Structure 1
Amino acid sequence: MKLADLAKELNISTESFIKFITDFDLELSECINTNFDVKDDFVKFARENVAFLRKYEKDLEVDKSVEDIAENINQPTEKVAEIIKQEKPRLFDNGIYKSSVSSFGIDNKLGGNYQFVYDYFGRKTSLKERDFIGYRDLFFYISQELEPFINNVPLSDWGLHKPAGIILYGPPGSGKIFWANKIAEITGYLFKEIKKHYLGTSFVDGNKTTFNDFLVMMMKEEKVLLFMEDFDTIMGIRTEEKSIDSCDEETKEIVMHYIGHFEEEELLMVGSANSVVDIDREVLAPGRFDVLIPIFPPNFQERCEMILFHMTENLVENSLLMRILVNNHADHLPFWKKVAEKMKTFSNTMIIDFTQSLKKRIRNLYLNDHSENIVIDDHLLDSALRDASAKLTEEYLTQVDQFIIDVTIHNYDDFPQRIEELKRELQIYKVVEAPRKSIGFTHNEESTKK
């Protein structure tokens, strides 16, 4: 059953279900999969607690002040204000919070008794069985942007159009190609990457072919998602200070020529960009690449889960490394919190580098004395952390800084907590003393010593 079908059956909006899952911090894999098929436990909960869910939705729709919420849930005003401050909801000029603030969600965070909710979701889905780790907010945001693809509703009823082009933007190594594949999975489109040699003119089996030929051929196929890397370079605007490669300029002109036909030909193009600041404004015009999706570096909790996932990935229960991890209690999330806290602004790639380095170091220790009594101590963790920090360069940190500017302009209301958290993490690398440059960064270890 699709979430939209369950929502229709119970006369509760899909948006309310999504906010409920977020407010009560339910594990996404226990509720829904990436195709928006609802899990059996969630269907059972929704049907048996429909009265509560309707009360939740009614409360969600009401504009309310801090005092209103505090009175409704019988909690101190100061504590309610602190929770709301963390969530950064939209506010009217008169101090009343716009709808989408849930009194029940705030009460739950302040210790209200909602055990009846969690009774339906007692079995935690293991990391290896999840579709992905964390990023629940980003998944729901992407799903809302892809609404015309997900629900079989005649678009003419609402005047909606399927996106022709999407831009995934964020610092290098944060998983843009992963999310492009997820978009293909959600929409049911076939994922195809535009290789570098497809651009310009090339020869295949002795026959001359161009990017124009390739794009026309893709438009003839059914439901294709085309993924283009370096989108900000290829679709950049020529200025006096910056020239554009002639091949890139030709590619841009070809895409702009055909993009008006993408929807009817069931072709979706997804571009990957480090930043949107240099992309030609014409490319971002309505009906073109007007859907911008920010791809963030993982937050603290996601870093913990990613480390554990990549440390235990493909390990059988009785493998050597698994036994060593169990001996150190490193097969559970709490073990990794200390080192994850040090990985501020780390990309997904850096986290994978850390786990690979740590695995190699543990293996080398084992090969020295063939003993499983290996202690995964701070020295071992910090050594692997230094290896992973090699990519934490000034250039990368500057790209994170630009990403924060981009996402604040284009998507602040959608991800206020993530943006503020990333700002705080980046701040520790900024030079505190009188700067010699307009902006500067120090290395992770240097900033720690200060």
Structure 2
Amino acid sequence: MKLAELAKELQISTESFINFIQDFDLEISECISTNFEVKKDFIKFAKENITFLKKYEEDLGQNKSVEDIAKTIKQPQDKVSEILKKDKVKIYDNGFYKSSVSSYVIDQKLGGNYQFVYDYFGKKTSLAERDFIGYRDLFFFISKTLDPFLHHSLLTDWGIHKSAGIILYGPPGSGKIFWANKIAEIVDFQFKQIKKYYFGTSFVDGRKTSFNDFLVEMMKEDKVVLFMDEFDNIMSERSEERSVSSCDEETKEIILHYVSQFEKEGLLMIGSANALVDIDREIRAPGRFDVSIPIFPPNAQERSEMILYYIKENLSKDAVLMEILKANDADHLPFWKDISMKMKVFSNTMIIDFTQSLKKKIRDIYLKNRSPNIKITEKLLEAAFREASAKLTGEYLNHVAQFVQDVSINNYDDFSSRIEALKAELDSYKMVEKPIKTIGFTHNGDQDE
């Protein structure tokens, strides 16, 4: 059963179910699959708790004041106000909080008992069995963006067309190619990547071919996601300050020529960009690449989960490293919390670098001592952290700063909590200038100051 079918049967909106999963921090893989097939436990929960879900939906749809929320959940107004300020929830000029705020989630944060929700799902799905780690908000945002691919009625009932092109934008190493593959999986298209040698004119098997020929061939195939890396460079706008290569300009013109045919031919092109600011406005015009999806570096919780996932990746149950991890309680998330908090604005790639470095260091100690009695010390973690930090360059931080600016303009309401958390992490790297010393002799009072 699809989520939309369950929603229709219970007369509860799909959007309400999606908000509920995020609000109560449920693991996606325990509720629905990537293609929105609903899991048995979630169906059972929804049918047996339909009264609560309808109350949740009704509350979610209302703009409300602190007084309204406090009255609904029978909690003190000052406590409710404190939670709302902490979560940086958007408030309108008239003092009302927007309808996407759930009174029941605020109640839970204030100690309300909602154990009945979690009783249905039992043991958490292991990290190794998940489709992806964290990113519930991004997954549902992408899925909503892809609605025209999943529901034909959006075209016939509302005239809403499928996207011809999507731009995934975010700092280097944040997983844009992963999400492009995930999009292909959600819409059930085959995934193909445009190689650099496809651009311009080349010879394949002794036959002259061009990017134009390649694109025409792709449109002949059935349901294809075509992924293009370095989209912001290839599609950049020419100006006095910026020159564009003739090959890139030709590629841009070819795509602009054919983009109007993509929907009809069953082709979706996805561009990967570090930033949106330099992309030619013609490319982002309506009916072209008019959908932009931000791909964030992982937050602190996601970093912990990723470290645990990659540190255990491909290990057998009797692996020496697994034995060492268990002896240090490093086979559970709490062990990695402190080091993940230090990895501010780390990309996915940097986290993988950290786990690879740490595994090599642990192995070196094992080969030296021939004993699995190894303590994973703070010194060992710091050494691996420093190696992974090599990619945390000024250039990378500038990419993150530009991303924060782009996403604040384009998607702030969709990801306000993520954006504010990322801003705070980025700000921790800003240099504080030392005060300039005055010329002259220093007095004892000045030294004290």
Superposition TM-score tier, normalisation by shorter sequence? over 0.9
* Code of the aligned partner of 1:228: M
**Deviation per residue, 1:218-242 (Å, 9 max, x gap):** 0000000000000000110000010
* Code of the aligned partner of 1:350: M
Q: Given the superposition, is the C-alpha separation of residues 193 and 162 from structure 1 closer, same or farther in structure 2, using an over 3 Å criterion? A: same
**Deviation per residue, 1:182-240 (Å, 9 max, x gap):** 00000101000000000111110010001000000000000000000000001100000
**Deviation per residue, 1:63-101 (Å, 9 max, x gap):** 101111012111122221222224434432211112111
**Which residue is equivalent to 1:183?**
183
* Code of the aligned partner of 1:401: A
Name which of structure 1's ranges 171-180 and 71-80 shifts more when overlaid on structure 2: 71-80
Whether the 8 Å contact between 2:154 and 2:161 is mirrored in structure 1 is no
**Which residue is equivalent to 2:122?**
122
Whether the 8 Å contact between 1:297 and 1:346 is mirrored in structure 2 is yes
Equivalence map 1:49-88=2 (5 Å): 49-88=49-88
Q: Given the superposition, is the C-alpha separation of residues 50 and 152 from structure 1 closer, same or farther in structure 2, using an over 3 Å criterion? A: farther
Q: How high is the TM-score relative to the length of structure 1? A: 0.95
**Which residue is equivalent to 1:309?**
309
**Which residue is equivalent to 2:424?**
424
1:100 paired with 2:108, answer: no
* Code of the aligned partner of 2:68: D
Off by >6 Å, runs of 4+ in structure 1: none
Q: Distance in 2 between matches of 1:72 and 1:384?
A: 49
Q: Distance in 1 between matches of 2:189 and 2:351?
A: 30
Whether the 8 Å contact between 2:172 and 2:396 is mirrored in structure 1 is yes
Q: Distance in 2 between matches of 1:373 and 1:139?
A: 41
Q: Distance in 2 between matches of 1:32 and 1:354?
A: 31
Give the C-alpha shift of residue 322 in structure 1.
0.1
Residue aligned with 1:384, SS: helix
**Which residue is equivalent to 2:345?**
345
Give the C-alpha shift of residue 151 in structure 1.
2.9
Equivalence map 1:371-382=2 (5 Å): 371-382=371-382
**Which residue is equivalent to 2:364?**
364
**Which residue is equivalent to 2:443?**
none
Q: Distance in 1 between matches of 2:144 and 2:188?
A: 15
**Which residue is equivalent to 1:14?**
14
Q: Given the superposition, is the C-alpha separation of residues 382 and 125 from structure 1 closer, same or farther in structure 2, using an over 3 Å criterion? A: same
**Which residue is equivalent to 2:215?**
215
Q: Distance in 2 between matches of 1:217 and 1:372?
A: 56
Equivalence map 1:197-276=2 (5 Å): 197-276=197-276
**Deviation per residue, 1:416-442 (Å, 9 max, x gap):** 000000000011111111699xxxxxx
**Which residue is equivalent to 1:442?**
none
* Code of the aligned partner of 2:406: D
Whether the 8 Å contact between 1:169 and 1:272 is mirrored in structure 2 is yes
Q: Which has the larger radius of gyration?
A: 2
Q: Distance in 2 between matches of 1:199 and 1:260?
A: 20
Residue aligned with 1:91, SS: coil
**Which residue is equivalent to 2:288?**
288
**Deviation per residue, 1:240-286 (Å, 9 max, x gap):** 01000100000000001100010011100000000000001111111
Residue aligned with 2:270, SS: strand
Q: Distance in 2 between matches of 1:434 and 1:395?
A: 23
Q: Distance in 1 between matches of 2:8 and 2:274?
A: 39
**Which residue is equivalent to 1:167?**
167
- Structure 2: 5+ residue stretches without partners: 437-449
Whether the 8 Å contact between 1:4 and 1:151 is mirrored in structure 2 is no
1:415 paired with 2:415, answer: yes
Name which of structure 1's ranges 76-85 and 193-202 shifts more when overlaid on structure 2: 76-85
**Which residue is equivalent to 1:332?**
332
Whether the 8 Å contact between 1:194 and 1:227 is mirrored in structure 2 is yes
**Which residue is equivalent to 2:23?**
23
Name which of structure 1's ranges 110-119 and 213-222 shifts more when overlaid on structure 2: 110-119
Give the C-alpha shift of residue 155 in structure 1.
1.4
* Code of the aligned partner of 2:251: T
Q: Distance in 1 between matches of 2:435 and 2:267?
A: 48
**Which residue is equivalent to 2:156?**
156
1:298 paired with 2:322, answer: no
Equivalence map 1:132-151=2 (5 Å): 132-151=132-151
Q: What number of residue pairs does the alignment pair up?
A: 436
Q: Given the superposition, is the C-alpha separation of residues 154 and 420 from structure 1 closer, same or farther in structure 2, using an over 3 Å criterion? A: closer
**Percent identity for Structure 1 against Structure 2:** 69
Residue aligned with 2:153, SS: coil
Q: How high is the TM-score relative to the length of structure 2? A: 0.95
Give the C-alpha shift of residue 152 in structure 1.
4.5
- Structure 1: 5+ residue stretches without partners: 437-450
Q: Distance in 1 between matches of 2:200 and 2:189?
A: 25
* Code of the aligned partner of 2:239: T
